[in-house]
Structure 1
Amino acid sequence: MNATSWISRNVSRLFPIDRKGLLASDAAGPAPAVRGGAVGPAAERPTRERLAASRRHKEEAMSPRMLRLVLDELKATIDPRISEVEGGRRAQVLIERYAGATVARRRDMWLLMSEMFTADTEKVKSAQAKFAAAVGTPDEAAAEVQYRRATVSPRRRLLQRFSVLPEGIRFLVDLRAEMQPFLKKDKRLQALDVEMEYMFSTWFDVGFLELQRISWDSPASLVEKLIKYEAVHDIRSWADVKNRLDSDRRCYGFFHPRLPGEPLIFVEVALIDHMAGSIPPLLDEQAAASDLDKATTAIFYSISNTQTGLRGVSFGDSLIKRVVETLCAEFPRLRHFATLSPIPGLRSWLTQNADRMLALTPDKELAELGRSVGFEPPAAAHVLLALDKVESLDAKSALQRWLLHCAAHYLGREL
């Protein structure tokens, strides 16, 4: 290295890093691209080692100096000496910087939040010992309180600081969603993920959620979100979505006051006068609307969670119960409530086990099945090929009966 390069590099270290771009740029050079957790702990130094170092390794997104500065700013956000207003202001600055950061640098921030904001180990051990010693004595309750307080991590306070901001909940939900692909390969992030899931389960308790009907008269932006988030039966067109919101249909969603206009989960219901046997008739855009005065059955044919960041927070059971209550109040003649949902994993399981299921089929039923698919005796390939047209089969067909038997076997003995 010549003298000019040495002087240039070391003089630059005398000047502070531009804090406005703390997460977005790095004086040490560009950060490597990170996709789907491609960079894992095996390829990196531990976070604490990086914080204590003086130089950045090539594969690391932030230099040690930048990492320390970000950690200091995170800690400053929950400094007990500052007011709630000042803490909120500092949290807002971090949110704005995070928005302009690369994925790799965001991941470094997740690691800091996960690893550097843990509960005090010594306090936890001490409180645990005191609680164990106090069990069965008059001091048990007080010892339990102290133990619970000792196990609360500063990370929780940090999340709470973000959450009180106008866009704080949205920020945290999106942060956790972006973090999900990295969790499998980097277990260091699990503490942050679990803490966020715990906090979300409190903040998004069903007692705080609002049940709203989504109809064709709802704002276009909300109807567009149905199209975007539908996870069971893809919505193919505006005519399709209009059919699902017709007079003989109902769509309800749970909404949170801090995420206005954003359904957390929604369910689609068809109101008919019989028990539906398949999905296609319900999605037929040309079919006439059912007579609501004769409706006796509510078919729940699609339910979709919309927020990846709320994974692990349960809404489905509560939503269905609330919708059933609402429908019963509006349509007193309703007597039957059923679901028409795909069975996860059935097709792939049957592809691998069709031969075994055919071997278990009695000879008489096997002969009927062979005539149904056009091959006697039927082989696995013949049956699997015929299943591509199963939606158009008569309910009494041999193939339909055989498939129901396989589904019952799969649900009862394989799961």
Structure 2
Amino acid sequence: MPQPSVINDLLSAITDNRIFGERRKPRRASRETLVEMIEALLGGRGEASATEKAGDFLRAYRDLDYAGRTFVFRTLAHDYGPHAETLKAAAEAYIAAPGEAAAKALQKAAEPRRVELFRRLNNITGGTQALVALRLELMERIAHHPDLWVVDDDLKRLFNAWFNRGFLDLREIDWQTSAAILEKIIRYEAVHAINGWDDLRRRIDVPDRRLFGFFHPRLGDEPLIFVEVALSGAIPTAIGPVLAEDRTPIDPRAATTATFYSISNCQDGLRGISFGSFLIKQVAGDLARELPNLKTFVTLSPVPGFAKWLREEAARPTSAVDTPTRDLLERLDHDPAFLTDPALAKAAEVALMPLAAHYLTVARDAKGRVIDPVARFHLGNGARLEQIDFNADPSERGIKNAFGMMVNYRYVLADVEKNHEAFVGDGKVIATPAITKLARTVKVAERPPSDAPRQLAPPKKSEPVEG
């Protein structure tokens, strides 16, 4: 969760004297004053007046504490929706005499008043950044204030329009890119941490490595999302060789495979706004034109939900996890370095690979979706589940999340649209026959209505682990 100071610093930069004139001494606005400022901003007509009022509101918001900011969101949720009487009259008019004019009037009446507030804030210099920051704080409150979802829904719809593909700028980021952007790449990397400038240089300043990012003109040098690409002669089955310090680069013209091994969203306030599908497809297309020898486009992806799902599944008496595998899971919990023990690692591979295939292709959450968020992302983009890689990420995080497993999703450009439709329309996971066959070896008993999950006993750290 971002610290309040991060949001304050951003709002201070947006509302400093370069934009709105001399910065005023912070003075916390009363709730009545905040409402008056909202009304004034919505009631303003002139551009200069609207800019000044938007600046006043953002300055006031910046100086609020947590409770004050929550009050702003709750006020927007409860008092700035559609005007009920106007909406009712417009609906009755449309029912009585349907037509384009009546439909437009109904559409206008149905729009919440807070949407116009967001538009006016967005029109000022720095306003887009401010709204992204506001949404981040809003999302942090929804768990405790579920009534705020209507405000988030409005912001999300606006962001989907403002950040659509037509407004995004794809840039290749290399060692000549500005230091300000490179620092942000180091900071925002969310999958495989970049350990300083030397590590970054190994990822972007060699001929067989690339990095691309989407930018938006209203956010300047703030990347929205970026992807790191490795060019190679085969599909990688582990992250270690991709990131190795002593790796020998290859001539990119000899590469046959482009691997998207890290995709990082940079703006938490834009969560739920999809950029990744556009990014991967455009980068794949651009690389295919630049390097005709590239025939294979894959990811090397984490499986962040597998270990959690498997432990929960193992806790059910009637589940896909048999008793020997339950016992094995307890042994693996005792020994997080199990991959260094050949016998234990082999036992884990035999037991867990079919369950991983089942998890990715068959298992569903309460909403009927594929459980793993990374799988949903790539399958929803039209990728194919290509292979599951055991002992691919032996890091502490890789062991904790997926017992060291990673996955390759393959983007066959000619099949992307067809695969996307099959997944989104029918819920069908497109996977290789080998993975489908592996998943079928897992037998799942029907869960009775009264099936209450049991808890696995926590590992006893003092208990020795047999090799």
2:243 matched residue in structure 1: 283
**Distance of aligned partners of 1:391 and 1:400 in 2 relative to their CA distance in 1, 3 Å threshold:** farther
Distance in 2 (CA, whole Å) between partners of 1:73 and 1:286 is 59
Distance in 2 (CA, whole Å) between partners of 1:231 and 1:199 is 26
Distance in 2 (CA, whole Å) between partners of 1:237 and 1:393 is 33
User: Residue 220 of structure 1: which of 179, 184, 195 is its match?
Assistant: 179
- Residue by residue over 1:251-304, the C-alpha shift from the partner in whole angstroms, topping out at 9 and shown as x without a partner, is 111100011111101111111000111111111122111221210001111111
User: Residue 413 of structure 1: which of 336, 348, 362 is its match?
Assistant: 362
Code of the residue aligned with 1:265 in structure 2: it is: I
Contact 1:210 1:255 in 2 (8 A): yes
2:398 matched residue in structure 1: none
- Residue by residue over 1:381-405, the C-alpha shift from the partner in whole angstroms, topping out at 9 and shown as x without a partner, is 33556774549979x9564354321
2:9 matched residue in structure 1: none
**Distance of aligned partners of 1:258 and 1:379 in 2 relative to their CA distance in 1, 3 Å threshold:** closer
User: Residue 188 of structure 2: which of 226, 229, 250 is its match?
Assistant: 229
SS in structure 2 of the partner of residue 324 of structure 1 = helix
User: Residue 272 of structure 2: which of 312, 321, 328 is its match?
Assistant: 312
2:39 matched residue in structure 1: 75
Code of the residue aligned with 2:76 in structure 1: it is: M
- Residue by residue over 1:329-386, the C-alpha shift from the partner in whole angstroms, topping out at 9 and shown as x without a partner, is 211110001111111210122334469656388xxxx9xxxxxxxxxx9733335567
Code of the residue aligned with 2:219 in structure 1: it is: L
User: Residue 108 of structure 2: which of 131, 149, 154 is its match?
Assistant: 149
Contact 1:351 1:384 in 2 (8 A): no
Structure 1 portions without partners, runs of 5+: 1-19, 27-65, 367-376
1:163 matched residue in structure 2: 122
1:379 matched residue in structure 2: 328
- Residue by residue over 1:139-189, the C-alpha shift from the partner in whole angstroms, topping out at 9 and shown as x without a partner, is 433322111111112211111111111111111111111222111111232
2:79 matched residue in structure 1: 116
Is 2:285 aligned against 1:325?
yes
User: Residue 95 of structure 1: which of 58, 64, 72 is its match?
Assistant: 58
Contact 1:390 1:400 in 2 (8 A): no
User: Residue 353 of structure 2: which of 404, 407, 410 is its match?
Assistant: 404
**Distance of aligned partners of 1:400 and 1:239 in 2 relative to their CA distance in 1, 3 Å threshold:** farther
Is 2:149 aligned against 1:190?
yes
Code of the residue aligned with 2:114 in structure 1: it is: R
Distance in 2 (CA, whole Å) between partners of 1:206 and 1:390 is 43
Tell me the number of residue pairs that the alignment of Structure 1 and Structure 2 aligns.
336
SS in structure 1 of the partner of residue 362 of structure 2 = helix
Distance in 1 (CA, whole Å) between partners of 2:311 and 2:340 is 17
Contact 1:278 1:391 in 2 (8 A): no
SS in structure 2 of the partner of residue 231 of structure 1 = coil
Contact 1:393 1:400 in 2 (8 A): no
2:197 matched residue in structure 1: 238
The structural deviation recorded for 1:226 is: 1.2
Is 2:343 aligned against 1:340?
no
The structural deviation recorded for 1:73 is: 1.3
Contact 1:280 1:391 in 2 (8 A): no
SS in structure 1 of the partner of residue 194 of structure 2 = coil
Report the RMSD for the aligned CA atoms in angstroms. Answer: 2.6
Contact 2:28 2:60 in 1 (8 A): no
**Distance of aligned partners of 1:190 and 1:381 in 2 relative to their CA distance in 1, 3 Å threshold:** closer
SS in structure 2 of the partner of residue 258 of structure 1 = helix
**Distance of aligned partners of 1:277 and 1:385 in 2 relative to their CA distance in 1, 3 Å threshold:** farther
Aligned residue runs from structure 1 range 35-54, under 5 A = none
Code of the residue aligned with 2:91 in structure 1: it is: Q
SS in structure 2 of the partner of residue 212 of structure 1 = strand
Distance in 1 (CA, whole Å) between partners of 2:290 and 2:338 is 37
**Distance of aligned partners of 1:239 and 1:400 in 2 relative to their CA distance in 1, 3 Å threshold:** farther
Contact 1:300 1:338 in 2 (8 A): yes
The structural deviation recorded for 1:202 is: 0.7
* TM-score, normalization by structure 1: 0.74
Code of the residue aligned with 1:348 in structure 2: it is: K
User: Residue 132 of structure 1: which of 61, 77, 95 is its match?
Assistant: 95
Distance in 2 (CA, whole Å) between partners of 1:287 and 1:391 is 22
1:254 matched residue in structure 2: 214
**Distance of aligned partners of 1:130 and 1:401 in 2 relative to their CA distance in 1, 3 Å threshold:** farther
Distance in 2 (CA, whole Å) between partners of 1:265 and 1:223 is 13
- Residue by residue over 1:55-97, the C-alpha shift from the partner in whole angstroms, topping out at 9 and shown as x without a partner, is xxxxxxxxxxx212211111111215x3122111111122223
Distance in 2 (CA, whole Å) between partners of 1:67 and 1:172 is 20
Structure 2 portions without partners, runs of 5+: 1-23, 365-467
Distance in 2 (CA, whole Å) between partners of 1:217 and 1:391 is 40
Distance in 2 (CA, whole Å) between partners of 1:208 and 1:126 is 37
